[in-house]
Amino acid sequence: MKYSIVTFGCRVNQADSFAIEEALRRRGGVDAPAEDADLVIVNSCSVTATADQGTRQTIRRIVRSNPTVKVVVTGCYATRRPDDIRGLPNVVRIVANDDKEALVDLLEAEGELTTAERFGGGDGPCGVTLAPGVAGRTALTLRVQTGCDQQCSYCIIPSTRGTGRSRPLADVVSDVRRTVDAGYREIIITGVHLGSYGRDLRDGTTLLHLVRALAEWPDDVLFRISSLEPMDCTPEIVERCARSPRIAPHFHLPLQHGSDEVLEAMRRPYTVAFYRELVGRIRAAMAHASIGTDLIVGFPGERDTHFAEMVSLVESLPMSYLHVFPYSDRPGTAATRLSGRVDGNTIRDRGRVLRAIGAAKAATFRASQAGCEMRALTVDDGWSAVTGNYLKVRLEAARPRNTWITVRL
């Protein structure tokens, strides 16, 4: 059985796709290009209308090049709008997020997989299934939590991922051990609302407990903490990350807007002053830390003055990179009922301004690191490496993939 997995969206989806791939390989599946696969699994995103469109276009393109392929669609778009997908060519099954972990079992039960025995068996839980380099991955993304209770006014994800659910700390530690034993040297810890980790377990577990466990890990491995909401990045977490060589000096803290009035309309539970102080605290504790953020332009009611506040704030902060998104109306969210729509041309113009600022910020951060010596992990073809503070550098000579080296920037 030849399979291909196409993943859209966030790192949580990336982690989910890896788990699906692991289950397929255990059943004897062999990774193949989509145009040559017997089965293609599309793990969809629905955070914007563009993401929805990308799923539809991709399925049609795959089927044009591979008319006999079976297509299975899962993820947030499949959960939110299954009827949009049902009529697409060659789609044999739609699997909602709630059933995603059992996706391969469901396919096997329905006879949509060729059995592993017929193809000689899989590789087991710690064979090539988890080996670094599978499907081009050097680092592994590990999901420890899913779902969100935050209810930001623009976000559809709570309705597609459900309420916050955390994996027990002992299970996470077991998975980390298995991953490290398989040879991974960098593990990205992710969740839909990672900062809420442990709250639903009702046993006192918090994200800080997880960070402490990772910070004290005995093996030579780097843990990269994925996107954290600003209110969840506590002084204790910053301090623990600053003191441990096991935690990457890299923070992704979605700001979303630079105006308190717009943040309130977005139902974001912090202020501009809080965010400014948080960034300053991180920079004071880790001078070389990379700090990135997400920004939304064109939120309903965003006036020129609001945008000017955002520009002023972002220009004043020591950010390393910006991810800029145009507001995308998601029916079913509170924001869809708000007045004061911003026209498309204005949104595009504002987005260009922020992206230009982001490019300048990235260049400034890279220049500030010139002359520094840092550890980095070789990736891709061995001609590149990624530092703990998220700089991808080109090497003067190729080194084996997944090797720790010291680079002078």
CATH number of the CATH domain containing 303? 3.30.750.200
Asked if 192 and 97 sit in the same domain, the reply is no
Number of structural domains in the chain: 4
Q: What are phi and psi of 199, to 5 degrees?
A: -60, -40
Domain that holds residue 266: 250-368
CATH of the domain at 55: 3.40.50.12160
CATH classification at residue 149: 3.30.750.210
Between the alpha carbon of residue 131 and those of residues 26, 31, 121, 140, 283, the distances in Å are: 13, 14, 17, 10, 35
Give the model's pLDDT for residue 305.
98
* Size of the chain in residues: 409
Quote the mean pLDDT of the chain.
Answer: 93
For residue 91, give both structure tokens: 């789609």
Contacts of 107 (CB under 8 A, 6+ apart): 39, 72, 93, 113
Identify the pLDDT of residue 132: 79
Same domain flag for 259 and 339:
yes
Please indicate, yes or no, if residue 399 is contained in any of the structural domains.
yes
The predicted pLDDT at position 121 comes to 41
Q: Quote the pLDDT of residue 115.
A: 47
Domain identity same for 71 and 179: no
Q: Does residue 326 share a domain with residue 309?
A: yes
165 and 69 within one domain? no
% pLDDT > 90, the chain: 88
Do 41 and 11 share a structural domain? yes
pTM for this entry: 0.90
Per-residue pLDDT of 43-80, as tens digits, reads 999 999 899 999 999 999 999 999 999 999 999 999 99
- Give the tens place of pLDDT for each residue, 78-122: 999 999 999 999 999 999 999 999 999 999 998 888 644 333 344
Are 233 and 272 contained in the same domain?
no
Query: Does 103 map to a domain?
Result: yes
Domain boundary pick from 248, 264, 286: 248
Average pLDDT over residues 221-242: 97
For range 205-228, the mean pLDDT: 97
361 and 386 part of one domain: no
Identify whether residues 294 and 266 lie together within a single domain: yes
**Do residue 243 and residue 254 come from a single domain?**
no
Give the contacts of 371 (CB within 8 A, at least 6 positions apart): 408, 409
- Which residues, 6 or more positions from 279, have their beta carbon under 8 angstroms from its beta carbon? 253, 291, 317, 318, 319
